[in-house]
Chains A and B, each alone.
Chain A
């Protein structure tokens, strides 16, 4: 059978934090319930990789990869740079996450890492064997 070219996509979720955090628990639960219907189908089809729900931007810290790196409270706020990728790292503390960010920054200087805690992590199907570009 002919191998089809596959591509992994990420869907990056944007919305107004003010609005989403004004949802009542019932509204939040209702949204999650509707989403889980879609998630389950995608999961059965083996199409769903890891999905994450992040804590609000107020919990974010940004490491600007200058020399020495500059640590700023709050989310990444520049508009001249674009989101090019992301890591999920398992850490004991913010300090450890920032240390990893520093190390990655030494290997790949320039730009910033916004370090944001993850509120909900669903590992999804393993995509290790999927060919990517």
Chain B
């Protein structure tokens, strides 16, 4: 790795902690960000000459803080601090200073920074943009491309978000246990939002980069909160979902259903890490929605072929999710497992009570049509598929249902053969 590449990697890695610490001093996001940028510029000048410091994060915090204070002093015509050239080779000075600067605050600094990005005053789109800009350090151009908006529009979105943060009441004291766990829950939700922005984008390169960013953020969170099973669950969930990315789309960019994916394309490294993390989380026996969803993804990941899927486990996990977060969509998902385990009649009985609440839901009619078709109730199946197509939000969804319909049209076999499916 070249020196410059190493410096960039070190700066990227140091970013959340350094900006978090600078935010604690200056209590202002704009100042903290500028101080960090300043420190990075000085690092690019100083490190190749003087060699990298032992603790790059502490160096960046210290130099950033001094640069910002220096700016304040200059405007107030006060005495300037010694410059960074004098600082950078004082290895002995660096360590105790860094300890005084940081110490036990490290964890709460990073959590505060992440929490500010998902402040309840911010709409979801601004939360994600702000986190990517401030914590991940993506450029406005990169974020704009990921969201398919102009750079100017994204610049404006981030500026607005920062203005709202500046106006909002942000607590800088060390949080108590209740507040810390509330912050953690908000941050977990924001990170999953970043991930889903990328995941739903399909083959758009700039957007799917968001999945990697979200995984990087959750690893950061997991290092800070090593014993939180829901953080492990979220990390596992994202790794297991992202592992399927190489197999999710066909050459036309259309979604391939889980059953039809080429499982040899799944990323084994991510699956290994995801399985290790969900194993770890489950030992705590403190169920949470992310853990259950990760366990569902893990059950699919463990199956070598679709036929090997442990449907009893899937049924069990969806039932657990139903208890934790009752929702007709979760019940609908459970019905698929029930259908595989006990047949289409039982699955249909499970989803029929949902008809009213899911009257506008594409997947409800897709699943209903499939169960009816398996039962040989062709006319009703066709009606359900027609309804599904009218509700399809995108071309691949509609195309998938059309395949069922085409099969229905072609199929002129007697009912006993038609029910075999």
Contact = CB atoms under 8 A, between A and B. Distances in A.
Interface stretch (A2-10, A15-23, A78-86, A103-111): A15-23
Given A21-B216, A21-B219, A117-B273, A58 B13 contact: no
A16 B53 CA distance: 13
Contact of A95 (B5, B269, B283): B283
A55 interface: yes
A93 interface: yes
17 contacts: A16-B10, A19-B9, A19-B10, A21-B13, A21-B219, A22-B12, A22-B216, A23-B9, A55-B276, A58-B235, A74-B226, A74-B227, A93-B279, A94-B276, A117-B273, A117-B276, A119-B273
Contacts of B276: 55, 59, 94, 117
Contacts of A16: 10, 13
B14 A58 contact: no
B273 A55 contact: yes
Contact of A18 (B13, B272, B273): B13
Nearest to A92: B279
B222 interface: yes
B137 to A, nearest CB: 10
B223 interface: yes
Nearest to A71: B283
B120 to A, nearest CB: 28
A73 B10 contact: no
B223 A57 contact: yes
Interface of A: 16-19, 21-23, 27, 30-31, 55-59, 61, 71-74, 93-95, 117, 119-120
B280 interface: yes
Contacts of B10: 16, 19
B226 A58 contact: yes
B277 interface: yes
Contact of A94 (B13, B216, B219, B283): B283
Given A18-B13, A59-B273, A94 B226 contact: no
Interface string B2-14: 0001100110111
Contacts of B216: 21-22
Q: Which 9 A-B pairs have the closest CB atoms?
A: A18-B13, A74-B226, A94-B279, A117-B276, A58-B222, A59-B276, A73-B227, A22-B12, A73-B226
A59 to B, nearest CB: 4
Contacts of B12: 22
B167 interface: no
A53 to B, nearest CB: 9
B9 A58 contact: no
A27 B5 contact: yes
Contacts, number: 62
A115 to B, nearest CB: 10
B268 to A, nearest CB: 9
A21 B10 CA distance: 10
Contacts of B277: 58-59
B78 to A, nearest CB: 36
A76 to B, nearest CB: 12
Interface string B310-329: 00000000000000000000
Interface string B276-295: 11011001000000000000
Given A58-B219, A59-B280, A93-B279, A18 B14 contact: yes
Contacts of B5: 27
B1 interface: yes
Contact of A19 (B13, B219, B235): B13
A16 B232 CA distance: 21
A49 B238 CA distance: 34
B273 A56 contact: yes
Contacts of B235: 58
Contacts of B280: 59, 61, 73, 94
Interface string B207-227: 000000000100100110011
A24 B247 CA distance: 20
A97 to B, nearest CB: 9
A119 B219 contact: no
Interface in B175-221: 216, 219
A57 B269 CA distance: 15
A84 B226 CA distance: 25
From A30, A59, A74, name the one whose CB has the most chain B CB atoms within 10 angstroms.
A59
A58 B272 contact: no
Nearest to B57: A18
A88 to B, nearest CB: 14
Nearest to B284: A73
A74 B283 CA distance: 13
Given A59-B280, A119-B273, A31 B219 contact: no
Contact of A22 (B9, B232, B269): B9
A118 to B, nearest CB: 8
Contacts of A94: 276, 279-280, 283
